[in-house]
Amino acid sequence: MSLTILQSESRRNPRLTWEGCSVLLDVNDGDRLVFARLSPASTLKIGNKSFSLKPLIGCPFGSLFQIENGGNGPELARVMPSREEEGISCQETEEMKEEQVTKDELRDNRAIVDNNKAQSLSSEDIDAMRSQGATGDEIVEALIANSATFDKKTVFSQEKYRLKKQKKYAPRVLLRRPFTRSICEAYFKKYPARIGFLRLDALSLLLSFGNVTANSDVLVVDMVGGLLTGAVAERLGGKGSVCNTYVGNTPNPMDIVRIFNFDDEICSRIMRSSLADLTSSQIEPTKPNGENEDSINVQEQASQPVSMDESPLPSTDQSSDLNSESIVSPLTKVFKCAKAGDKAPPEVINLWKENGFTSLIIAAPQSDAWSLVKDLLPLVANSAPFAIYHQYVQPLATCMHKLQLEKMAISLQISEPWLREYQVLPSRTHPFMQMNAFGGYILSGTKICDRQ
């Protein structure tokens, strides 16, 4: 890498997007979540139209975009409300609260009949407004003005009506930063099987039970697409190392790590090593970088990983695809992120063998927990913590029983994480109507010295 590129990366503002970075696009307040790689050629499909993501480059994370008419037709434009307007709206809201409460007590929706006759504005009129250059907000206001039943509805029903029309005629896109929480929530919402049904609170408990802190050497078995490896590397912050180990000759795919936008320093701390190399007495010399990367690429293609640049998998609900064709167009080599997950050099492996790993974290729902623990736990330093995630409790119970019989660990416990999300709104604060009641199980403990 040239000195110019290194200097540009060191001066990069992490609060702003840049060309080639990964982002999470939240369309219409969570109705659709899309991962995208920003480039001048990348596009996002909303409805039956594709919009360029070029306006998103250089904007702060958390920016809100809305479809507006531009010089070349509809395009994504950043919404920037002024402070004066925000102050006025807050004052008006406080003044109108009491009046709205009084009006709501005097009206309800019992007399409203849904017969599709309350709206006098036809679809032809809406198309005519669009051809004349009307914005989405103007169309929404026109629909409200031409509704015969809008004034008869309660304030809550009016908000629902306005929000429904806004999502249809004036969709908004929120530019979110991809980090552990947002990535885990996005995958768990749409494709939980790809991350082993690993919920956010379970992932947090894994990191806590594993005592992942700076300057730690963490041994990881990641069969959840790279989510666990990325979460550990993010918490280490470039200080320490994470070794993603695997059984056999084919590494586990960890393409989700690329979404984290890690710099070269953090990527260099993410290494791979097979279980055979970690347990063997002699380590073969490391291959040149080019050969090593080629072998990893071939192995990843053979294992068919989940990649956000791949063509979409067949799905009955195309609007919910995290990897749909609306994410990005084909990317060139210039926009590729730094490669993470190179093979660990022999000197590093020997250092790990000498000192032992500071913790062990396993997320392998498709493998037997005990078969992994009995080979991996001797690689961990004495008094080091470990945590094992599984979707079901029985494999962890069996593993816990065998650990007790072999006297390999103490403080063994199986935890079941529990999470309840709340809707927080004025006079309408309550748990969500639809929640996920199952978050898997975690076996945690502390390794003790071998009997020998």
> Taking the CB of residue 58, how many other CB atoms lie within 10 A of it?
12
Res. 190: pLDDT tops 50: yes
395 CB contacts (<8 Å, ≥6 apart)? 368, 369, 370
Residues 196, 363 contacting (CB under 8 angstroms) = yes
The greatest distance separating any two alpha carbons of the chain, rounded to the nearest whole angstrom, comes to 85
CB-side neighbour CA atoms (13 Å) of 141: 5
What pLDDT is stored for residue 317 in this prediction?
Answer: 38
Mean of pLDDT values over 409-414: 95
Among 311, 308, 336, residue whose Cα is nearest residue 227: 308
Most confident of 53-62, 77-86, 101-110: 53-62
Give the CA-trace dihedral at 185, 191, 196, 201, to 10 degrees.
20
Delimit the domains of the chain by residue range: 16-82, 181-280+334-447
Q: Domain spanning 16-82 has what CATH number?
A: 3.10.330
Confidence band (pLDDT; 50, 70, 90) for 125? confident
Strand partners, 271: 243, 342
Distance CA 222, CA 257 (A): 11
Cα dihedral sign for 387, 393, 394, 398?
positive
Most confident of 28-32, 131-135, 143-147, 370-374: 370-374
What pLDDT is stored for residue 304 in this prediction?
Answer: 37
Q: Which residue has the higher pLDDT, 389 or 45?
A: 389
427-446: pLDDT as tens digits: 778 898 888 878 899 999 99
Confidence band (pLDDT; 50, 70, 90) for 79? confident
What pLDDT is stored for residue 57 in this prediction?
Answer: 92
Enter the tokens of residue 185: 């929530």
What pLDDT is stored for residue 316 in this prediction?
Answer: 33
Rounded (5°) CA angle 162-164-166: 65
Confidence band (pLDDT; 50, 70, 90) for 59? very high
Q: Strand, helix or coil at 54? A: helix
Enter the tokens of residue 294: 């080629």
What pLDDT is stored for residue 155 in this prediction?
Answer: 80
What pLDDT is stored for residue 359 in this prediction?
Answer: 96
Residues 383, 402 contacting (CB under 8 angstroms) = no
215 CB contacts (<8 Å, ≥6 apart)? 239, 240
Confidence band (pLDDT; 50, 70, 90) for 335? very low
Mean of pLDDT values over 130-143: 82
337-363: pLDDT as tens digits: 447 788 999 999 999 999 999 999 999
Most confident of 231-240, 282-291, 419-428: 231-240
Distance CA 266, CA 274 (A): 21
Res. 293: pLDDT tops 70: no
What pLDDT is stored for residue 322 in this prediction?
Answer: 58
What pLDDT is stored for residue 307 in this prediction?
Answer: 37
Among 4, 14, 3, 2, residue whose Cα is nearest residue 266: 14
The CATH class, in words, for 181-280+334-447 is: alpha beta
Residues 308, 327 contacting (CB under 8 angstroms) = yes
pTM of the model: 0.78
